[in-house]
Amino acid sequence: MSVISNLSASKQTRGDSAPGKTAGPHASFQAAKRDLKKDGKPILAARNVFKSYHKGKLEVPVLRGVDFSISPGEFTAVIGQSGSGKSTLLHLLGTLDAPDQGEIHFEGRRIDNLPAGQRDTIRNQKLGMIFQFYHLLPELSTLENVLTPLMISSGVFSYWRNKRQFVERAKKLIDMVGLSHRLTHKPRELSGGEMQRAAIARALIAEPKLLLADEPTGNLDRKTGGEIMKLLSDLNQSGLTIVMVTHDMSLAQLAHQTVSLVEGVVEAA
Protein backbone atom coordinates (compact mmCIF):
# COMPACT_ATOMS: atom_id res chain seq x y z
CA MET A 1 0.00 0.00 0.00
CA SER A 2 2.91 2.33 -0.56
CA VAL A 3 1.14 5.12 -2.42
CA ILE A 4 -1.81 5.07 -0.08
CA SER A 5 0.22 5.01 3.11
CA ASN A 6 2.61 7.65 1.74
CA LEU A 7 -0.32 9.85 0.90
CA SER A 8 -1.94 9.42 4.30
CA ALA A 9 1.38 10.26 5.96
CA SER A 10 2.03 13.33 3.83
CA LYS A 11 -1.55 14.48 4.42
CA GLN A 12 -0.95 14.39 8.15
CA THR A 13 2.36 16.22 8.09
CA ARG A 14 1.39 18.87 5.57
CA GLY A 15 -2.16 19.16 6.81
CA ASP A 16 -3.08 20.90 3.58
CA SER A 17 -5.27 18.44 1.74
CA ALA A 18 -8.61 19.99 2.51
CA PRO A 19 -10.07 21.35 -0.73
CA GLY A 20 -9.58 25.06 -1.19
CA LYS A 21 -7.20 25.45 1.75
CA THR A 22 -3.94 25.74 -0.18
CA ALA A 23 -2.43 28.29 -2.54
CA GLY A 24 -4.50 26.65 -5.28
CA PRO A 25 -4.81 23.29 -7.00
CA HIS A 26 -1.57 23.79 -8.88
CA ALA A 27 0.75 24.51 -5.98
CA SER A 28 1.85 20.97 -5.14
CA PHE A 29 1.90 20.09 -8.82
CA GLN A 30 4.67 22.63 -9.38
CA ALA A 31 6.57 21.21 -6.44
CA ALA A 32 6.28 17.75 -7.99
CA LYS A 33 7.66 19.11 -11.23
CA ARG A 34 10.80 20.33 -9.52
CA ASP A 35 11.32 17.19 -7.45
CA LEU A 36 11.19 14.45 -10.09
CA LYS A 37 14.45 12.58 -10.67
CA LYS A 38 14.55 10.49 -13.82
CA ASP A 39 16.38 7.18 -13.35
CA GLY A 40 16.59 6.30 -17.01
CA LYS A 41 14.35 3.23 -17.19
CA PRO A 42 10.85 4.01 -18.44
CA ILE A 43 7.85 2.44 -16.71
CA LEU A 44 5.81 2.80 -19.91
CA ALA A 45 6.73 3.37 -23.54
CA ALA A 46 4.93 3.62 -26.86
CA ARG A 47 7.14 2.67 -29.82
CA ASN A 48 6.05 3.75 -33.31
CA VAL A 49 2.39 3.02 -32.59
CA PHE A 50 -0.15 3.01 -35.42
CA LYS A 51 -3.90 2.67 -35.07
CA SER A 52 -6.72 3.09 -37.60
CA TYR A 53 -10.44 2.51 -37.35
CA HIS A 54 -12.48 1.04 -40.18
CA LYS A 55 -15.88 2.27 -41.21
CA GLY A 56 -17.11 -0.03 -43.95
CA LYS A 57 -14.40 0.17 -46.59
CA LEU A 58 -13.10 3.47 -45.29
CA GLU A 59 -9.94 3.41 -43.19
CA VAL A 60 -9.63 6.25 -40.69
CA PRO A 61 -6.01 6.59 -39.56
CA VAL A 62 -5.78 8.00 -36.03
CA LEU A 63 -2.27 7.28 -34.71
CA ARG A 64 0.55 7.23 -37.28
CA GLY A 65 3.76 6.44 -35.44
CA VAL A 66 3.41 7.62 -31.85
CA ASP A 67 6.58 7.46 -29.75
CA PHE A 68 7.21 8.52 -26.18
CA SER A 69 8.26 7.11 -22.82
CA ILE A 70 7.33 7.76 -19.23
CA SER A 71 9.60 7.55 -16.20
CA PRO A 72 8.46 6.11 -12.87
CA GLY A 73 6.84 8.85 -10.80
CA GLU A 74 6.23 11.11 -13.76
CA PHE A 75 3.00 13.04 -14.34
CA THR A 76 2.38 13.13 -18.10
CA ALA A 77 -0.34 15.17 -19.80
CA VAL A 78 -1.60 14.02 -23.21
CA ILE A 79 -3.08 16.91 -25.15
CA GLY A 80 -4.51 17.41 -28.62
CA GLN A 81 -7.65 18.61 -30.38
CA SER A 82 -10.90 16.72 -30.08
CA GLY A 83 -10.64 13.67 -32.35
CA SER A 84 -6.81 13.70 -32.36
CA GLY A 85 -6.65 10.21 -30.85
CA LYS A 86 -6.02 10.90 -27.14
CA SER A 87 -8.58 8.37 -25.89
CA THR A 88 -7.46 5.88 -28.54
CA LEU A 89 -3.88 6.20 -27.25
CA LEU A 90 -4.96 5.82 -23.62
CA HIS A 91 -6.89 2.65 -24.50
CA LEU A 92 -3.79 1.21 -26.17
CA LEU A 93 -1.62 2.10 -23.16
CA GLY A 94 -4.21 0.44 -20.92
CA THR A 95 -4.32 -2.78 -23.02
CA LEU A 96 -8.03 -2.22 -23.73
CA ASP A 97 -7.19 -2.30 -27.43
CA ALA A 98 -4.14 -3.33 -29.48
CA PRO A 99 -2.14 -1.23 -31.96
CA ASP A 100 -2.13 -2.16 -35.66
CA GLN A 101 1.64 -1.69 -35.67
CA GLY A 102 4.24 -0.73 -33.10
CA GLU A 103 4.71 -1.77 -29.48
CA ILE A 104 3.68 -0.84 -25.96
CA HIS A 105 6.17 -1.66 -23.19
CA PHE A 106 5.33 -1.67 -19.48
CA GLU A 107 7.93 -2.26 -16.77
CA GLY A 108 10.46 -3.35 -19.36
CA ARG A 109 8.21 -5.88 -21.05
CA ARG A 110 6.26 -5.75 -24.30
CA ILE A 111 2.55 -6.00 -23.41
CA ASP A 112 0.54 -5.18 -26.55
CA ASN A 113 0.99 -8.64 -28.07
CA LEU A 114 0.28 -10.73 -24.97
CA PRO A 115 -2.70 -13.11 -24.95
CA ALA A 116 -5.93 -11.47 -23.79
CA GLY A 117 -5.86 -13.23 -20.40
CA GLN A 118 -2.40 -11.88 -19.58
CA ARG A 119 -3.39 -8.38 -20.70
CA ASP A 120 -6.43 -8.60 -18.40
CA THR A 121 -4.17 -9.56 -15.50
CA ILE A 122 -1.82 -6.61 -16.11
CA ARG A 123 -4.79 -4.25 -16.41
CA ASN A 124 -6.40 -5.55 -13.23
CA GLN A 125 -3.27 -5.71 -11.11
CA LYS A 126 -0.97 -2.95 -12.35
CA LEU A 127 -3.12 -0.26 -13.97
CA GLY A 128 -5.84 2.00 -12.65
CA MET A 129 -8.14 3.94 -14.95
CA ILE A 130 -10.48 6.88 -14.53
CA PHE A 131 -12.72 8.52 -17.12
CA GLN A 132 -14.59 11.76 -17.80
CA PHE A 133 -17.96 10.13 -17.06
CA TYR A 134 -16.73 8.05 -14.09
CA HIS A 135 -18.20 4.71 -15.32
CA LEU A 136 -19.45 3.71 -11.87
CA LEU A 137 -22.00 0.90 -11.67
CA PRO A 138 -25.34 2.65 -10.96
CA GLU A 139 -26.85 -0.06 -8.73
CA LEU A 140 -23.85 -0.28 -6.40
CA SER A 141 -22.94 1.91 -3.43
CA THR A 142 -19.67 3.85 -3.22
CA LEU A 143 -18.15 1.07 -1.09
CA GLU A 144 -19.33 -1.68 -3.48
CA ASN A 145 -18.10 0.22 -6.54
CA VAL A 146 -14.67 0.62 -4.98
CA LEU A 147 -14.57 -3.11 -4.17
CA THR A 148 -15.49 -4.32 -7.70
CA PRO A 149 -11.90 -4.69 -9.01
CA LEU A 150 -11.11 -6.98 -6.06
CA MET A 151 -14.29 -9.00 -6.63
CA ILE A 152 -13.27 -9.49 -10.25
CA SER A 153 -9.59 -10.25 -9.70
CA SER A 154 -9.96 -12.49 -6.61
CA GLY A 155 -12.75 -14.81 -7.67
CA VAL A 156 -15.75 -15.59 -5.46
CA PHE A 157 -14.12 -17.82 -2.81
CA SER A 158 -11.01 -15.79 -2.30
CA TYR A 159 -13.09 -12.58 -2.21
CA TRP A 160 -15.33 -13.88 0.57
CA ARG A 161 -12.36 -15.25 2.51
CA ASN A 162 -10.63 -11.88 2.39
CA LYS A 163 -13.70 -9.68 2.47
CA ARG A 164 -13.11 -8.10 5.87
CA GLN A 165 -9.59 -7.01 4.91
CA PHE A 166 -10.75 -5.78 1.47
CA VAL A 167 -13.55 -3.71 3.01
CA GLU A 168 -11.07 -2.17 5.43
CA ARG A 169 -8.75 -1.27 2.54
CA ALA A 170 -11.65 0.21 0.54
CA LYS A 171 -12.80 2.29 3.50
CA LYS A 172 -9.27 3.67 3.99
CA LEU A 173 -9.15 4.71 0.35
CA ILE A 174 -12.63 6.20 0.43
CA ASP A 175 -11.55 8.20 3.46
CA MET A 176 -8.39 9.29 1.65
CA VAL A 177 -10.40 10.70 -1.28
CA GLY A 178 -12.68 12.48 1.18
CA LEU A 179 -15.85 10.41 0.73
CA SER A 180 -16.24 8.52 4.01
CA HIS A 181 -19.60 10.26 4.57
CA ARG A 182 -20.89 8.77 1.27
CA LEU A 183 -20.11 5.06 1.77
CA THR A 184 -23.62 3.75 1.14
CA HIS A 185 -24.68 6.30 -1.48
CA LYS A 186 -25.41 5.20 -5.04
CA PRO A 187 -23.78 7.16 -7.91
CA ARG A 188 -27.02 9.05 -8.68
CA GLU A 189 -26.94 10.39 -5.11
CA LEU A 190 -23.43 11.81 -5.58
CA SER A 191 -22.19 15.03 -7.21
CA GLY A 192 -19.84 14.88 -10.22
CA GLY A 193 -16.81 15.57 -8.05
CA GLU A 194 -17.87 12.89 -5.57
CA MET A 195 -18.37 10.36 -8.38
CA GLN A 196 -14.86 11.09 -9.64
CA ARG A 197 -13.48 10.66 -6.11
CA ALA A 198 -15.22 7.26 -5.90
CA ALA A 199 -13.79 6.34 -9.32
CA ILE A 200 -10.29 7.32 -8.14
CA ALA A 201 -10.65 5.14 -5.03
CA ARG A 202 -11.80 2.26 -7.25
CA ALA A 203 -8.82 2.80 -9.57
CA LEU A 204 -6.44 2.60 -6.61
CA ILE A 205 -7.88 -0.40 -4.75
CA ALA A 206 -5.62 -2.94 -6.48
CA GLU A 207 -2.54 -0.77 -5.76
CA PRO A 208 -1.67 0.02 -9.39
CA LYS A 209 1.74 1.18 -10.61
CA LEU A 210 0.22 3.51 -13.16
CA LEU A 211 -2.95 5.60 -13.28
CA LEU A 212 -4.47 6.38 -16.69
CA ALA A 213 -6.95 9.26 -16.63
CA ASP A 214 -9.08 10.33 -19.61
CA GLU A 215 -10.22 13.95 -19.10
CA PRO A 216 -10.91 13.33 -15.40
CA THR A 217 -12.01 16.94 -14.86
CA GLY A 218 -13.73 17.33 -18.23
CA ASN A 219 -17.24 17.17 -16.81
CA LEU A 220 -16.61 19.19 -13.64
CA ASP A 221 -16.81 22.88 -12.83
CA ARG A 222 -13.50 24.67 -12.36
CA LYS A 223 -13.39 24.56 -8.57
CA THR A 224 -14.36 20.88 -8.34
CA GLY A 225 -11.94 20.07 -11.16
CA GLY A 226 -9.22 21.86 -9.18
CA GLU A 227 -9.96 19.69 -6.14
CA ILE A 228 -9.69 16.52 -8.24
CA MET A 229 -6.41 17.80 -9.71
CA LYS A 230 -5.12 18.43 -6.19
CA LEU A 231 -5.94 14.83 -5.28
CA LEU A 232 -4.18 13.49 -8.40
CA SER A 233 -1.22 15.73 -7.72
CA ASP A 234 -0.96 14.47 -4.12
CA LEU A 235 -1.08 10.88 -5.42
CA ASN A 236 1.68 11.67 -7.90
CA GLN A 237 3.82 13.20 -5.17
CA SER A 238 3.30 10.04 -3.16
CA GLY A 239 4.89 8.05 -5.97
CA LEU A 240 2.09 7.15 -8.37
CA THR A 241 2.89 7.52 -12.08
CA ILE A 242 0.02 9.26 -13.88
CA VAL A 243 -0.89 9.72 -17.55
CA MET A 244 -3.72 12.21 -17.94
CA VAL A 245 -5.54 13.26 -21.08
CA THR A 246 -6.70 16.85 -20.80
CA HIS A 247 -8.04 19.73 -22.85
CA ASP A 248 -6.96 22.22 -20.24
CA MET A 249 -3.61 23.77 -21.20
CA SER A 250 -3.22 25.37 -17.77
CA LEU A 251 -3.17 21.86 -16.26
CA ALA A 252 -1.04 20.35 -19.02
CA GLN A 253 1.68 22.99 -18.60
CA LEU A 254 2.17 21.95 -14.99
CA ALA A 255 2.81 18.27 -15.75
CA HIS A 256 6.37 16.93 -15.88
CA GLN A 257 5.92 16.01 -19.51
CA THR A 258 3.43 16.94 -22.22
CA VAL A 259 2.67 14.59 -25.11
CA SER A 260 0.98 16.64 -27.81
CA LEU A 261 -0.86 14.68 -30.51
CA VAL A 262 -1.04 16.40 -33.89
CA GLU A 263 -2.09 14.56 -37.03
CA GLY A 264 -1.38 11.19 -35.48
CA VAL A 265 2.12 11.82 -34.16
CA VAL A 266 3.70 13.42 -31.11
CA GLU A 267 4.56 17.02 -31.89
CA ALA A 268 7.98 18.10 -30.67
CA ALA A 269 7.73 20.37 -27.60
Interface residues toward ligand ADP, by CB under 6 A: 53, 55, 60, 62, 80, 82-88
One of 28, 71, 87, 95 touching Mg ion (CB under 5 A) = 87
236 binds Mg ion, rule: CB under 5 A: no
88 binds Mg ion, rule: CB under 5 A: no
Q: Burial level of 2, CB count in 10 A (0-12/13-18/19+)? A: exposed
d(CA 247, CA 160): 42
Q: Which is nearer to ligand ADP, 32 or 93 (CB)?
A: 93
Which of ligand ADP, Mg ion, none does 88 bind, CB closer than 5 to 8 A by kind?
A: ligand ADP
Which of helix, strand or coil describes residue 229?
helix
Q: Do 236 and 183 touch, CB atoms closer than 8 A? A: no
Q: Which is nearer to ligand ADP, 72 or 102 (CB)?
A: 102
CA distances from 65 to 61, 71, 101, 125, 127 (A): 11, 20, 8, 28, 24
Which of ligand ADP, Mg ion, none does 72 bind, CB closer than 5 to 8 A by kind?
A: none
Q: Which is nearer to Mg ion, 71 or 88 (CB)?
A: 88
Pairing outcome for strands 127-131 and 58-70: unpaired
Q: Which is nearer to ligand ADP, 53 or 160 (CB)?
A: 53
Q: For 178, phi and psi rounded to 5 degrees?
A: 80, 35
The minimum distance between CB 86 and ligand ADP, in angstroms, equals 3
Q: What is the 8-class DSSP label of residue 268?
A: P
Which of Mg ion, ligand ADP, none does 80 bind, CB closer than 5 to 8 A by kind?
A: ligand ADP
Q: Which is nearer to ligand ADP, 112 or 234 (CB)?
A: 112
Q: Which is nearer to ligand ADP, 55 or 188 (CB)?
A: 55
Q: Do 3 and 238 touch, CB atoms closer than 8 A? A: yes
Those residues whose C-beta lies under 8 Å from the C-beta of residue 61, and which sit 6 or more positions away, are: 50, 51, 52, 264
Which of Mg ion, ligand ADP, none does 196 bind, CB closer than 5 to 8 A by kind?
A: none
145 binds Mg ion, rule: CB under 5 A: no
The binding site for Mg ion (CB under 5 A) comprises 87
